[in-house]
């Protein structure tokens, strides 16, 4: 396997020296790009893009044609797993992802189909290998999955419930924790197998999105989210040097869970913008890399404001020791109303202002 031409992301995730802070952006392929909107209209739906490996590859590459990003991320969605398990995923134009069926009782749970990702989610693995070929080792490809808890929130409440804070999932946690654990344990199996299959298909780093972990009390978080993710990380394969590909856990409201993440054995934590990176670094020390955490709403302001705010994020991490172990990203996904030129301003600011934190 020829080496990566740009390995900044991998090096930063492993806390090795780099010349500048690498940057990629959550939802970097998406609706803020006119070429994405056009292809999606032609394909007919979001899932039609995901399920066609050539189209998924084309969408993945769209932001890379415009911007000098340090990583590609598989174009897919975390909800492909519940879909393959039989819940019937569809996207409503106004409400986003929706399910035809949800999990309310043990009978629903028993009806969930155990999945073999290489069969039931073949289209994802084909997209991964197609994208890897197209990238020609220029930059690494990030694979991903949702955390068991975050997938369970959608599977229990149905789609469209994020604004309400997934009340049915939160109620099940207290009224029927046994059922919730049984669901989460099924998801531990499915997510582990899915990530292993993505590694085999060519993913070079992994994200686990625990977007809704921050909805839980610290005690519930430990039992119902963190421990399930730790189990997944422990199941990922290691090569003959005992190394596995770097894994990043993203969670909104993740500050208070940082010590648990260190114990879970991941390589990096993605944080939202409510965390201060210097505080986070003081907790994780040199054991973990950090990814984040510009407020995505800043991309709706001017290029001057973007530059000022990028400098603050770089300084909040780099002023403590250096920029080593920092991956620049937004604190959550880029929104559809961002002008593409503001994305360009963001990347330019990171390229211009981060090298000073990487002088040896
Ligand atoms: O065209 C469209 O309207 C679809 C919009 C869209 C896109 C571009 C959805 C629906 N998903 C995606 C792609 C996607 N989703 C990626 C692609 C790679 C990238 O460029 O980053 C990734 C990694 C995801 C992951 C995802 N999906 C998460 C975790 C990350 C996060 O944003 O917190 C979650 C929670 C989802 C569910 C989902 N899928 C789509 C939407 C709009 C949502 C969120 C719904 C909600 O608010 O509850």
Give binding residues for substrate as ranges.
27-31, 77, 154, 211, 332
pLDDT tens digits, one per residue of 224-276: 999 999 999 999 998 878 889 999 999 888 787 787 777 777 899 999 999 99
Give binding residues as ranges.
27-31, 77, 154, 211, 332
Q: Which pLDDT band, with edges at 50, 70 and 90, does 96 fall under?
A: confident
Task: Tell me how far the alpha carbon of residue 307 lies from the centroid of ligand 1, in angstroms.
Answer: 26
The domain defined by 8-358 carries CATH number 1.10.3720.10 = no
Is 27 marked active-site?
Answer: yes
pLDDT at 28: 98
Residue of 154, 221, 317, 357 marked active site: 154
Residue with the two structure tokens 């709706």: 300
> How far is residue 180's CA from residue 186's CA, in Å, rounded to a whole number?
10
Nearest CA residue ID for atom 12, ligand 1: 77
Residue with the two structure tokens 């155990």: 114
Residue 325 region, left (φ>0) first, then alpha (ψ -120 to 50), else beta? left
Average pLDDT (202-217) is 95
Average pLDDT (60-88) is 98
Average pLDDT (314-333) is 93
Residue 72 CB less than 6 A away from ligand 1? no
Q: Which pLDDT band, with edges at 50, 70 and 90, does 304 fall under?
A: very high
pLDDT tens digits, one per residue of 146-167: 999 999 999 999 988 998 999 9
pLDDT at 258: 82
pLDDT at 254: 76
Residue of 8, 11, 15, 27 marked active site: 27
Nearest CA residue ID for atom 15, ligand 1: 77
Residue 83 CB less than 6 A away from ligand 1? no
Task: Tell me how far the alpha carbon of residue 77 lies from the centroid of ligand 1, in angstroms.
Answer: 6
Mean predicted lDDT score pLDDT of the chain:
95
Residue 144 CB less than 6 A away from ligand 1? yes
pLDDT at 208: 97
Distance of CA 89 to the CA centre of its chain: 20
Q: At residue 51, does pLDDT exceed 80? A: yes
pLDDT tens digits, one per residue of 338-352: 999 999 999 999 999
Question: Which of 266, 278, 312, 272 has the alpha carbon at shortest distance from 295?
Answer: 272
pLDDT at 253: 84
Task: Tell me how far the alpha carbon of residue 36 lies from the centroid of ligand 1, in angstroms.
Answer: 14
pLDDT at 56: 98
pTM: 0.97
Is 101 marked active-site?
Answer: no
| Ligand 1 atom nearest residue 36's Cα | 1
pLDDT at 271: 95
CA 338, 340, 341, 342 dihedral sign is positive
pLDDT at 287: 85
> Of the given ranges (96-100, 171-175, 189-193, 201-205), which has the lowest mean pLDDT?
96-100
Is 8 marked active-site?
Answer: no
């Amino acid at each position: 396997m020829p080496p990566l031409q740009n390995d900044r992301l991998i090096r930063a995730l492993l806390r090795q020296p780099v010349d500048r802070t690498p940057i990629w952006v959550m939802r970097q392929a998406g609706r803020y790009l006119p070429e994405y909107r056009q292809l999606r209209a032609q394909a007919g739906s979001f899932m039609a893009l995901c399920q066609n490996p050539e189209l998924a590859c084309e969408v993945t590459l769209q932001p890379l044609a415009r911007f000098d990003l340090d990583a590609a991320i598989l174009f897919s969605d975390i909800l492909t797993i519940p879909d393959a398990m039989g819940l019937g995923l569809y996207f409503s134009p106004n409400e986003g992802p929706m399910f035809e069926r949800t999990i309310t009782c043990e009978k629903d749970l028993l009806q969930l189909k155990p999945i073999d990702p290489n069969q039931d989610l073949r289209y994802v693995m084909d997209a991964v290998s197609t994208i890897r070929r197209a990238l020609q080792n220029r930059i690494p490809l990030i694979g991903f999955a949702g955390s068991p808890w975050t997938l369970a929130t959608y599977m229990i409440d149905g789609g469209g419930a994020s604004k309400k804070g997934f009340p049915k999932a939160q109620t099940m946690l207290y009224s029927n924790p046994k059922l919730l654990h049984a669901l989460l344990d099924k998801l531990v199996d499915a997510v582990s197998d899915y990530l292993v299959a993505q590694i085999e298909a060519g993913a070079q780093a992994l994200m686990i999105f625990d977007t809704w972990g921050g909805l839980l009390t610290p005690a519930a978080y430990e039992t119902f989210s963190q421990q399930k993710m730790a189990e997944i990380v422990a199941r990922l394969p290691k090569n003959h040097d005992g190394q596995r590909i770097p894994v990043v856990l993203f969670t909104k409201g993740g500050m208070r869970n940082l010590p648990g993440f260190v114990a879970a054995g991941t390589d990096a934590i993605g944080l939202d913008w409510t965390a201060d990176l210097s505080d986070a670094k003081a907790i994780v020390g040199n054991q973990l890399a950090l990814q984040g955490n510009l407020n995505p709403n800043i991309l709706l302001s001017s290029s001057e404001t973007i530059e000022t705010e990028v400098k603050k994020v770089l300084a909040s991490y780099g002023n403590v020791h250096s920029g080593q172990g920092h991956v620049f990203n937004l604190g959550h996904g880029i929104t559809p109303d961002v002008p593409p030129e503001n994305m360009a301003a963001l990347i330019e600011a990171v390229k211009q202002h981060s090298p000073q934190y990487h002088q040896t």
